[in-house]
A and B are shown apart, each in its own frame.
Chain A
């Protein structure tokens, strides 16, 4: 019984360190900002830090906990960003910013969850590489559709078309919300570092508690051995879908934060394309697959480093890719795993024989 109590407090302690790390960072940064020690360059990065940390945690839920590779998380982020931006723009004049942002957040998260759910139904039937490539495909489809979409609102209601702004046939009082490839312009700037940190904490709370719940256990059981999980009565499709939908919805939250930090929102390959999905994956892998705290640290460091080391920015992705390959080989190569196991066995055997001698 002792071991059990110690075990529970161990995971709880681990989670508390993660929360503490985020809160402490926030306090330190706020003090530095108020005493004027933070350059405007870094100040401009504070919200992106939170955005990328949230989406990295969200992706880690899919990659580390569910054990499936998604290359479409930038697409879910895109959904969250655009739906929330459209809402905020439509109610820019008529609602106070607090409740408006809260509603935008719910709308962004819910839309991304809905898209994640719809994407997940077909996708989660597939395995491994197929799943990865199909999520990539969905991400690109989402980006393409948003780039071709025109949406406006006037006294008659909502208009949309895939052609051009004129085809919206809007009245004079109308407001064009999405202008195709030009995206959304004039989103209220509701994001701030404080909002970002709060959302990151909420994301952490949801993900960490999820992992340590019955549902999280079922999801990880499926990850480790699908056939055994089925044999003990775990509904594989259901739990995969829950985890994937949750992960997509949190990526949507990151998208909301992202959209309300910019006055103009476009769906470009660099922010919502698969390159972005892969960059998020880099955060997750370098932070440690399944390691939630690691994702946050990696997301922040890898966003910060190229900005500080401007001279190295040309080499940034080159270095990332080399580190990525090296880490994968070091962590996952059967030879490396075997080597570590042997090493561990030798160490424990050494300790045992010492005990026996004593």
Chain B
């Protein structure tokens, strides 16, 4: 039974990674940049719910909605102020800027909320699921996390395939210049992408903090990096890829924590990134792009 428990915990963690990875992969696919600050938007989302529920006594669901709004505004602002001026600049410059934004968010949180760990109240108040006469307990937050991430993944896939904005995103990801010529508002489309990615980050933040109820200014950075690993694993730019990559990564991390070494579990996760990039740089579901000479 312990294997099943570890597996389920892994899927739960993996669903959170999947949600974060969805944001990463959309932004990477469309704006062609690694938004290093994405993980820190999760942290902001977590704090927003924390303040709403613990300080303002809001209904958890209302707090989540507010948190999504906060993160959406934050994401769009970051894109507008820091990233848009650098569109067309070298990827190195954009990445360094994104690292700067990541640090900025962490340090603002540090000043506002302090470095002490905040005990996050689980917003999922449903009863736990008990199987096999209580031998295997699945926490309700786990169930909710998995369901939410599946719904979001499916919703996003439909959104990209069926809506006008979604198709505009695909067009921009293929060729910004051509998309512009076809009358697509490239800047607007990228802003929408950031908005969606950031609101997903808020959801991920809430679920992450509900499952692991310790909130600090650095809460988002490691899961953020791991979610990027998940996005690469699944094939960057691919929505189902991000989902699969996230789940697999969560499972691998939890199983290696349980059966190999808790100290080395991060090392194992990162080794996967390296192996994937060496063996199949495009990830499980990604596409190859060749440079034009």
The answer on a CB contact under 8 Å between B104 and A69 is no
Give CA–CA (A333, B97) in the complex, Å: 11
Interface size on B, residues (CB 8 A): 45
Q: Name the prevailing secondary structure of the B interface residues.
A: helix
Closest residue of chain A to B33 (Cβ to Cβ) is A129
Does B90 have its Cβ within 8 Å of any Cβ on chain A?
Answer: yes
Asked, given contacts A318-B107, A329-B97, whether A133 binds B267 with beta carbons under 8 Å apart, the answer is no
Asked, given contacts A137-B273, A227-B291, whether A325 binds B97 with beta carbons under 8 Å apart, the answer is yes
**Chain B 249-293 interface residues, beta-carbon cutoff 8 Å to A:** 261, 263-264, 266-267, 270-271, 273-274, 277-278, 281, 291, 293
For B267, list chain A residues within 8 Å (CB): 140-141, 144-145
- Using an 8 Å CB-CB cutoff, how does the interface string of A324-345 with B read, 1 for contact, 0 for none? 1100110111111000000000
For A1, list chain B residues within 8 Å (CB): none
Asked, given contacts A137-B270, A328-B100, whether A63 binds B92 with beta carbons under 8 Å apart, the answer is yes
For B266, list chain A residues within 8 Å (CB): 140-141, 144
Asked, given contacts A129-B34, A136-B225, A140-B266, whether A325 binds B277 with beta carbons under 8 Å apart, the answer is no
Does A33 have its Cβ within 8 Å of any Cβ on chain B?
Answer: no
Does B85 have its Cβ within 8 Å of any Cβ on chain A?
Answer: yes
The answer on a CB contact under 8 Å between B100 and A130 is no
- Using an 8 Å CB-CB cutoff, how does the interface string of A260-301 with B read, 1 for contact, 0 for none? 000000000000001000100100010000000000000000
Set A148, A274, A328: member contacting B264, Cβ < 8 A: A148
Does A157 have its Cβ within 8 Å of any Cβ on chain B?
Answer: no
**Chain A 121-180 interface residues, beta-carbon cutoff 8 Å to B:** 122, 125-126, 128-130, 132-134, 136-138, 140-141, 144-145, 147-148, 162
Does B93 have its Cβ within 8 Å of any Cβ on chain A?
Answer: yes
Asked, given contacts A132-B34, A134-B277, whether A332 binds B93 with beta carbons under 8 Å apart, the answer is yes
The answer on a CB contact under 8 Å between B96 and A281 is yes
Give CA–CA (A69, B264) in the complex, Å: 25
The answer on a CB contact under 8 Å between A318 and B111 is yes
For B177, list chain A residues within 8 Å (CB): none
Which of B103, B263, B293 has its CB near the most chain A CB atoms (within 10 A)?
B103
Does A358 have its Cβ within 8 Å of any Cβ on chain B?
Answer: no
The answer on a CB contact under 8 Å between A145 and B270 is no
For A27, list chain B residues within 8 Å (CB): none
Does A38 have its Cβ within 8 Å of any Cβ on chain B?
Answer: no
Give CA–CA (A325, B96) in the complex, Å: 8
The answer on a CB contact under 8 Å between A128 and B82 is no
For A318, list chain B residues within 8 Å (CB): 104, 107-108, 110-111
Task: Report A150 CB to chain B, min CB distance, Å.
Answer: 12
Give CA–CA (A281, B102) in the complex, Å: 14
Does B88 have its Cβ within 8 Å of any Cβ on chain A?
Answer: yes
For A129, list chain B residues within 8 Å (CB): 28, 33-34, 91, 95
Does B228 have its Cβ within 8 Å of any Cβ on chain A?
Answer: yes
The answer on a CB contact under 8 Å between B103 and A317 is yes
Which of A67, A129, A162 has its CB near the most chain B CB atoms (within 10 A)?
A129
Set A68, A125, A324: member contacting B100, Cβ < 8 A: A324
Give CA–CA (A141, B270) in the complex, Å: 7
For A69, list chain B residues within 8 Å (CB): 92, 95-96
Asked, given contacts A128-B92, A329-B86, A334-B89, whether A278 binds B270 with beta carbons under 8 Å apart, the answer is no
Set A67, A140, A162: member contacting B270, Cβ < 8 A: A140
Does A322 have its Cβ within 8 Å of any Cβ on chain B?
Answer: yes
Set B103, B104, B271: member contacting A141, Cβ < 8 A: B271
Which of A130, A136, A141, A328 has its CB near the most chain B CB atoms (within 10 A)?
A328
Does A210 have its Cβ within 8 Å of any Cβ on chain B?
Answer: no
- Which B residues contact A (CB, under 8 angstroms)? 28, 33-34, 82, 85-93, 95-97, 99-104, 106-108, 110-111, 225, 228-229, 232, 261, 263-264, 266-267, 270-271, 273-274, 277-278, 281, 291, 293
User: Can you pick out 28 interface pairs between chain A and chain B where the beta carbons lie within 8 Å of each other?
Assistant: A63-B92, A69-B95, A128-B95, A129-B91, A130-B232, A133-B225, A133-B228, A133-B273, A134-B277, A140-B267, A144-B266, A148-B261, A148-B263, A148-B264, A162-B264, A227-B293, A315-B107, A317-B103, A317-B106, A317-B107, A321-B101, A321-B103, A321-B104, A321-B107, A324-B97, A325-B97, A332-B93, A336-B85
- Which A residues contact B (CB, under 8 angstroms)? 63, 67-69, 122, 125-126, 128-130, 132-134, 136-138, 140-141, 144-145, 147-148, 162, 181, 227, 274, 278, 281, 285, 314-315, 317-318, 320-322, 324-325, 328-329, 331-336
